[in-house]
Structure 1
Amino acid sequence: MSKKIREGLIKKILFIFGSVSILITISIFATLLSESLIFFQKVPILNFLFGTKWTPLFKPQNFGVLPLVAGTFLIVIFSSLISLPIGLLSAIYLSEYSHMKVRKIVKPFIEILAGIPSIVYGYFALTTITPIIRKFYPDTSIYNALSASIAVGIMTIPMVLSLSEDSMRAVPKSLREGAYALGLTKLEVVFGVVIPASFSGIVASFILAISRAIGETMIVALAAGATPKLTLNPLESIQTMTGFIVQISQGDVVQGTIEAHSLFAVAMLLFVITLTMNLLSKLIVNRFKEDY
């Protein structure tokens, strides 16, 4: 076999493997879309998107998804208040202030958090975080949004830290040295040079962490509860979109019913939200990307 033929064969094989992820994504989208269309033949899409009551398993049935969306973003907001600042400040320390030996020890140790199964975080939130919260706020529900948010925030810290720190370390040393030559302090160099130069990577890490929080399943299923309601109180029980999917997937709902098809409608909405966040991340990276 000639070298040219081998190269052509390898190219085709790599193309096939590279196309697998695209085909899987298209298959998932097609499945969600086809099943969702059956649901929307029975439930108007405007009632689904803007309705304020979600009771698909009880009579009378209501299919307003806003309580699930509100519960999801309640988790996202409070988890982001934990993961984004802690992850960014930790990345700044490891990139700009810590000794190399400290970085080699601390960063892998923090990244271990990303390898812990989410169901472990869920039990940790339910059995450890919730009792602590109830010591300060006795009226807190056993299943509540705050404990789930804290666990999701802890889980997404490594994502923010790792991506932000890598982006900061990619900033050329010459930029730092030029800033020091102008008389800037360490803090001024960090916030005036390093962070602006690595802004695209930092924002991308934020959006990816938020996307991860939106799609989190087991933590919210175990710790946040299963009470779909429109509330801003993180101490109450809520239900997220992924939590509802888990509830329906337990097998108590007959396949082919409107209740079962509501799962695909919620999953389709979740898919669109996550895809939008990923596309937004891509646009921001391309918009603010710096080439050195």
Structure 2
Amino acid sequence: MIEQLIAEATECDFKVALETKKPKSWLKSVSAFSNGIGGTLFFGISDDREPIGLSDVQSDAEAISRLIKERITPLPQFNLKPFVEDNKNLLAIEISSGRSTPYYYKADGVMEAYVRVGNESVIAPDYIVNELILKGTNQSFDTLLTDALKKDYSFTLLEATYLERTGLHFEPSDYISFGLADKNGFLTNAGKLMADQHIVYNSRIFCTRWNGLEKGSIFDDALDDKEYEGNLIYLLKNATDFIKNNSKVRFAKEAQYRVDKPDYAERA
């Protein structure tokens, strides 16, 4: 098992021994794994993947269960697995990705939520905590209702694009089905992002064609620069056109057709 693990990473953390006097050193990883995509904590293994072993696996397993129940809230799902490697008794805790986020480490009068950044467990910044709260209530930023009324805005680009792509008309009931508005006619954040009018300030995109492979040179820094603001369909179309206008398309002639070789594939 250990040979397959190259190093500590987003889903993997090694601990030489179980810290019971300073459990925060590993409990923050339990919080981070639960708030993210899950992961595994290995006890009895050094940072360079050498099996050191645990003297009392049963006692350590009981301590782990007790400390998680006492100091992680809400209680995450985890699975304790003892195993042997090179005649050393080791212990693995598999922590599942949680649904009731955020999962906090609580002790000494403080509550802190952690997330994984590479191979580290760090305190989640406020905006990440807000996202975890929404996730824990089965919500997202897109689904949150706003005070904007659908009747005050137009959606001609959305409806025209939908007809072009599907051959179907975008019916009034579809705004509710697609999560763009509620039954009372109030737009969600997703609905505001689809309106013809620019009503979400940050709904914008900056496109730059740099001169060379690095930003900055002895010549002009940029060869082309554009800023677009509007709904998401408008942004996607203009950003795609910007790339096409700043790309070359080579082609090779075959027997009955030609093969285009653009700098960047349209799908990308």
Q: TM-score range by the shorter chain?
A: under 0.3
TM-score normalised to structure 2 length: 0.21
Please state which structure has a larger fraction of its residues in strand.
2
